[in-house]
Amino acid sequence: MGNEASYPTEMCSHFNHDEIKRLSKRFKKLDLDCSGSLSVDEFLSLPELRQNPLVQRVIDVFDTDGNGEVDFEEFVVGTSQFSVRGDEEQKLRFAFSIYDMDKDGYISNGELFQVLKMMVRNNLQDWQLQQIVDKTIIILDRDGDGRISFEEFSAVVGNLEVHKKLVVTV
């Protein structure tokens, strides 16, 4: 595991060789049981990550094949979306899939509520949060089906210059 040469470079075209090397090092460090993939527990071994409300969502999005673990390929592909060289659509997709918990391509009212609940924790009452969610959905929802498609999402969120914000140096 961690043999970055085994992965074709086009797979993670946003990273150069150095960056992949660094990622691989990081991956090995996180992979406490050397299983070749990172479980949620291994992620949560980082104390600062434990405080992050969305860490579970991020891991879920990283875990593209849904086996509950993030292998190196998923790790690189996931992080590469945050590369400076990543395109806007990719970053928007990532943000979208943070909300889209059941991966059906739509953000439903309930999904948005759950994600926001993670973020605000107990700062807000549930009914307050529900009002916010309702309003957000109303604003975003153009075709009136009560849920948000990626197109609707990117129409509004695309204005926020996501491609400039969602950038992480590796």
Partner 1 sequence: MLCAALPLLWLPLAGAAATEEPTREPGSPGEPPPGLALFRWQWHEVEAPYLVALWILVASLAKIVFHLSRKVTSLVPESCLLILLGLVLGGIVLAVAKKAEYQLEPGTFFLFLLPPIVLDSGYFMPSRLFFDNLGAILTYAVVGTLWNAFTTGAALWGLQQAGLVAPRVQASLLDFLLFGSLISAVDPVAVLAVFEEVHVNDTLFIIVFGESLLNDAVTVVLYKVCNSFVEMGSANVQATDYLKGVASLFVVSLGGAAVGLVFAFLLALTTRFTKRVRIIEPLLVFLLAYAAYLTAEMASLSAILAVTMCGLGCKKYVEANISHKSRTAVKYTMKTLASCAETVIFMLLGISAVDSSKWAWDSGLVLGTLFFILFFRALGVVLQTWVLNQFRLVPLDKIDQVVMSYGGLRGAVAFALVILLDKTKVPAKDYFVATTIVVVFFTVIVQGLTIKPLVKWLKVKRSEHHKPTLNQELHEHTFDHILAAVEDVVGHHGYHYWRDRWEQFDKKYLSQLLMRRSAYRIRDQIWDVYYRLNIRDAISFVDQGGHILSSTGLTLPSMPSRNSMAETSVTNLLRESGSGACLDLQVIDTVRSGRDREDAVMHHLLCGGLYKPRRRYKASCSRHFISEDAQERQDKEVFQQNMKRRLESFKSTKHNICFTKSKPRPRKTSRKKKDGLANTEATNGKPPRNLSVQDTAAVILTVESEEEEESDSSETEKEDDEGIIFVARATSEVLQEVKVSGSLEVCPSPRIIPPSPTCAEKELPWKSGQGDLAVYVSSETTKIVPVDMQTGWNQSISSLESLASPPCTQAPTVTRLPPCPLAAEEPQHPFNLPYDPRPSFAFPPSLAKAGRSRSESSADIPQQQELQPLMGYEDRTHLSPGTANSHWCIQFNKGSRL
As measured in angstroms, the least distance from the Cβ of 136 to partner 1 is 5
Residue among 3 and 159 whose Cβ is closer to partner 1 = 159
**Are 106 and 148 in contact, with CB atoms under 8 Å apart?**
yes
Please give the sequence-ordered ranges of beta strands (E in DSSP) within the chain, or none if there are none: 37-38, 70-71, 106-107, 148-149
As measured in angstroms, the least distance from the Cβ of 27 to partner 1 is 9
Residues that bind partner 1 (CB under 8 A): 22-23, 26, 29-30, 43, 46, 48-49, 51-55, 58, 75, 78-79, 82, 84, 94-95, 98-99, 115-116, 119-120, 123-124, 128, 131-132, 135-136, 138-140, 142, 144, 156-157, 160, 162, 164-170
Distance CA 3, CA 18 (A): 13
Q: What angle do CA 87, 93, 97 make, to 5 degrees?
A: 155
Distance CA 26, CA 32 (A): 11
Residue among 22 and 33 whose Cβ is closer to partner 1 = 22
